[in-house]
Amino acid sequence: MTSICKRFSATTVRALSPSSPLSLLFALSVSLVAPAEAADWYLRGALGYEQSRDANFSDRDCASQQPAALFGCVRGDDGRPIGAYGDFGDYPMAELAVGRRLLPWLRADLSVGYRFASEYAGNANFLSVGTHEPVSADFESWLGLANVFVDLAALNGADLGRFQPYVGIGAGVAHNRLGEMTYRFPENPGRHKISVTPDGDRTNFAYQVTLGTGIALSDTLTLDLSGYYVDLGEVGTDSGIMSLNTLSAGIPIDETSTNLRAFGVAVGLRRAF
């Protein structure tokens, strides 16, 4: 047991080196597969609700011609670059994790989360088609994170009774799925009323910062309350054929994308074993 504890301490010290800021997450993730006799293991499950920050779609390259950029390098009637301006609204999420306590004040886990299907809602600002140009698309996301949590009371040697406040940070990969985007032009005096772009998938780096508290319900069961900020990275449409109600063959267009960032709250349970 003594040699194992020394190995954990050495790993933690090396991981905290300023020259490798992500090495702590890596080292603690690897330690989750260490022999069970050294473990203070736990399972964690949570349900949450997130509110998207602004998510404005733009071209991958506004000057692209082959295929053509959807928006182009000009400004709309409102003075902003032409694009789709909106957000992904409010949506639920669910998360499962397995982890272990490495030190009295330090724990780490690996989590998988799912953002349930939500709908992007926005408004475009193309020229000469009216000011009401609603944009919509379905969205869902999977998120895998390696998380590190510092239990503040244990770190400071404070006795807060059942309360166990903590801060945490996680880094990993998000897979974001966006359905076809529908652009409507109900005020357009011409015949062009609807454009539908291709759907798209993005897999990219993601991270989360968490502030919360555990509330001990028993020796092995803890209620977990948290608030957090999450960056799921890029969400976008792929290049392909855009269909129009006025042109049966459609036209080829380039990619469009935005970044999805959200604030969330979650309620969960931790079960030690």
74-123 tens-digit pLDDT:
999 899 999 999 999 999 999 999 999 999 999 999 999 999 989 999 99
Please tell me what DSSP assigns to residue 31: H
Q: How far apart (Å, rounded) are the C-alpha atoms in residues 245 and 194?
A: 6
When pLDDT is averaged across residues 250-272 and rounded to a whole number, the result is 97
Amino acid identity, residue 256? T
Percent of the chain at pLDDT > 90 equals 84
- The pLDDT value recorded for residue 248 is 86
Q: What value, to the nearest 5°, has the Cα angle with vertex 60 and ends 193 and 66?
A: 75
What are 8's two structure tokens? Answer: 């954990």
Return phi, psi of residue 12, to 5°.
Answer: -65, -40
**Is the pLDDT at 266 greater than 60, yes or no?**
yes
- Residue partners of 92: CB distance under 8 A and separation at least 6: 47, 48, 49, 50, 115, 116
Name the pTM for this structure: 0.84
Q: Report all structural domains of the chain as residue ranges with CATH numbers, in order of start.
A: 40-272 (2.40.160.20)
pLDDT top residue among 234 and 6: 234
- What separation, in Å, do the N-terminal and C-terminal C-alpha atoms of the chain show? 18
Please tell me the distance from the alpha carbon of residue 229 to that of residue 78, in angstroms, as a whole number.
31
Respond yes or no on whether the N-terminal peptide bond of residue 189 is cis (omega within 30° of 0): no
Which of 6-20, 90-104, 233-247 is least confident? 6-20
pLDDT tens digit string along 146-196? 999 999 999 999 999 999 999 999 999 999 999 999 999 999 999 999 999
Question: Looking at residues 194-212, what average pLDDT do you find?
Answer: 98
Question: Mean pLDDT over residues 246-253, rounded?
Answer: 92
Phi/psi for 60 (5° steps) reads -60, -40
